[in-house]
Amino acid sequence: MAAQGQGNPAVVGLAGFGMTTLILQFHNLGWCGVGPVLALAFAFGGVAQLVAGYQEFKCGNNFGYSAFVSYGAFWIALGIVWMLNHFGV
């Protein structure tokens, strides 16, 4: 529950998850390259979801906290794995 005067951080978390997943599926279909996926994985799917998760924690929502922080960490890890594969590590 958001405190009085605060916005709902779940909106940013869900938007980050949805948009990044959508662009990943566009990549899987061959409609875009890996660049947009990596950019969204780090910025919107990763960092924005982590921030949204920490804001959910401040609002007392443990489910939103655990979901957004874990999804944000997943997207950052996926971006790192793809970068390491690209460089042959």
> Three-class SS of residue 23?
helix
Could you read off the pLDDT of 28-77 as tens digits, one per residue?
999 999 999 999 999 998 999 999 999 999 989 999 999 999 999 999 99
> Looking at the predicted structure, is the pLDDT value of residue 21 above 60?
yes
> Averaged over 12-30, what is the pLDDT?
94
- Alpha carbon of residue 15 to chain centroid: 8
Q: Roughly what angle, to the nearest 10 degrees, separates helices 49-59 and 62-86?
A: 160
pLDDT at position 63 is 94
Residue 3's pLDDT band, with cuts at 50, 70 and 90, is: low
> Looking at the predicted structure, is the pLDDT value of residue 17 above 80?
yes
Structure-derived torsion over alpha carbons of residues 61, 64, 69, 72, reported in degrees to the nearest 10: -150
